[in-house]
Amino acid sequence: MSVLGIVLFALVILISVSLHEAGHMGTAKAFGMRVTRYFVGFGPTLWSFRRGETEYGVKGIPLGGFVKIVGMTPQDEDADDPKAMWRFPVWKRSVVMSAGSVVHFILAGVAIWLLAIFSGLPNPALPNGPESQPAVLAVQPCVVKTLPLRECAANDPASPASQAGLRDGDKLVAVNGKPVATWGEAIEQIRPLAVGQTASMTVERDGGQQTVQISPAEVERKMTDGSVRKVAAIGVGLTSTVPYTVTYGPVDAVGASAKYAGSMVTATFEALKQFPQRIPALFSAIGGAERDPNTPISVVGISILGGEAVERGAWDMFTALFIGFNLFVGIFNLLPLLPLDGGHLFIAWFEKIRSWVYARLHKPDPGRVDYFKLMPLTYTVILIFGAFTLLTVTADLVNPISIYK
């Protein structure tokens, strides 16, 4: 099932990318631009047919797709064609160049809407996930002192919470007299406690409050930044009292989906900003260190995650990965860098604004940007993207991220 899931997610990626190129083709044709080729895959042609002026087909290497629009720049060999793309108004070229990303956004939006109806979206009452839950305790029989976390073994020490008489269902309301409202606040107050010294824990039980004295144990735990530190623990988990997800009707799902999409877009931009600082962790993962789940992944890595989701029947997770992939690709493709679509958009509007400024200054129009002069920068971007892709693929093969690790 894992292999089937990997293949299935890879197929989903291929379809998404093919629809991306179809977005370019459809809008270009609608505006009257000449489109000569549309292929799924790269390499040798397996099958093709011609309809009108366009050849459609499938190639042997299923790693994407492409569309050929005649004369994207004035320097192209076919730029003299009367239906060349560069001859059209900038707004039409902008629609064509952004159409691929728009397709990704539409795919993500539809998937979020379906998820909201059938599986549910994160509960808005829990903005920080489980950490927003009330601190209703599930008392563990032991404490696992070192990572990775696992089931209790015979040689694990008994948990301080069980020794102090805490029970499942107790609601922690204060630590050393300081109020606790959520599970996140409970963790923040317990972890810095002094090991070997007693701390008072006040809990609600059977309508009243009780205070017990607990001596925390020292354990290794992973922090939110991925580092591992020694902290205090008392051997308790969280009993969920508020549902993590909420389902919606078809109409209500529209607004909920829009809010959820907005939060994911924000998270995507944050992830893009953090890419450079995550690169050292990728090298460490390749060298054998534990893989930080916040490090970037390639299409190989996300396909492996999709395989895990299918293996465990977690189709909501599979859909969430599909959503994240499409939002990321849609946003990334609009970055103002050649050879990305965003680079072409940036140049088109740079030319438009520059011509407007020169006209207001009563100077001759400087004309079009010479793409040949930008080739060194373009090749540099391609080289950086290629090296980054190689790095992430290697990390995903050697030390992949796991949903359930």
Which residues are within 8 A (CB) of 241 and not within 5 positions of it... i.e. 6 or more apart? 133, 134, 136
Tell me which residue has tokens 């300081």.
Answer: 178
Angle at 311 between CA 306 and CA 314, to 5 degrees: 70
CA distance 345 to 333: 11
Per the structure block, which two tokens stand in for 373?
Answer: 């002069």
CA distance 130 to 364: 62
Q: Facing residues of 245 across strands? A: 122
Per the structure block, which two tokens stand in for 107?
Answer: 């795919």
Query: By the 8 A CB rule, do 247 and 120 touch?
Result: yes
Instruction: Give the orientation angle of helix 315-332 with respect to helix 2-31, to 10 degrees.
Output: 40
CA distance 249 to 301: 33
**How many C-beta atoms surround the C-beta of residue 53 within 10 A?**
12
| Alpha helices by DSSP H, 43-201 | 90-118, 160-163, 183-190
Instruction: Give the orientation angle of helix 315-332 with respect to helix 90-118, to 10 degrees.
Output: 160
CA distance 98 to 365: 26
Active site residue 55: no
Which residues participate in catalysis according to the annotation?
21
